[in-house]
Amino acid sequence: MARPDLRRNDEMRKVKITPNYTMYAEGSVLIEMGNTKVICTASVEDKVPPFLEGQGLGWVTAEYAMLPRATNTRKKRDIKSLKLDGRSSEIQRLIGRALRAVVDRAALGERQITIDCDVIQADGGTRCAAITGGFVALWLACKKLLQDGVIETMPLTNHVSAVSAGIFEDEAILDLCYAEDSHAIVDCNIVMTGTGEFIEIQGTGEGRPFTKEELNKLISLGKKGTGKLCRDQKRITGELGK
């Protein structure tokens, strides 16, 4: 089996993270994974949601959306149907959980950082790109808070990145593009720290159930992929000193 772009099964697409992509946000990046392009911005606000007020803890949350023509067929804007797309809802909850897992919320203090992930062009793996890019936007915003003397220690305790792996025609492959993703029989998104632990794993049998052996293969690919992505992140962030 040859992959559409002739990659090896365990080979990722070209990754490019452009920091400070927009001029207003406290942190921003454009992340490209092959043809998938996502703008991630981090916006800092000096207040937290009501359920956290007065506890001295911060909050990180995420929103995810696609431009109408990020995909092959134009997708109606959510505001037209007055409903947040169910898939977007599921994805932005995942991004928020993934990023919060490496935040020292006491060190962040009583402020909220919102990570907006807007997909300019979608060719598979947008939620993973959003997590990987979102982390860098979050880091840029935290660094700014540090440099401005608003906080005293870097509130990020580890790197986070995410990648997809899947079973396609009975082979395990890494970082699926849309053509692969839409025909994969098993699809797995793996979110890992910079030190190789799991933050979240979601594996789904799209075409058929799957075995423990298959899951293990996907996890190995995921570990390899996220390791590569964390090295890419570190070219911008360096090691996370306190």
Q: Which residues bind its own copies (CB under 8 A)?
A: 22-25, 28, 35, 39, 41, 43, 45, 63, 65, 67-72, 74, 77-79, 82-84, 86-87, 89-90, 92-93, 97, 101, 114, 116, 118, 120-121, 158, 192-193, 195, 197-206, 208-212, 215, 219
Q: How far is the CB of 67 from its own copies (least distance, A)?
A: 5
Q: How far is the CB of 108 from its own copies (least distance, A)?
A: 17
Could you give the C-alpha distances from 115 to 139, 173, 207, 232, in angstroms and in order? 11, 29, 33, 19
- Of 92 and 237, which has the nearer Cβ to its own copies? 92
CB-count burial class (<10 Å; 0-12, 13-18, 19+) for 55: exposed
Q: Provide the token pair at 161.
A: 């990145």
Q: Provide the token pair at 146.
A: 């540090």
Q: How far is the CB of 147 from its own copies (least distance, A)?
A: 19
67 in Cβ contact with 24 (< 8 Å): no
Measured between alpha carbons, how far is 103 from 39 in angstroms, rounded to an integer? 21
Measured between alpha carbons, how far is 110 from 53 in angstroms, rounded to an integer? 8
- Of 110 and 206, which has the nearer Cβ to its own copies? 206
- Of 141 and 176, which has the nearer Cβ to its own copies? 141
- Of 8 and 209, which has the nearer Cβ to its own copies? 209
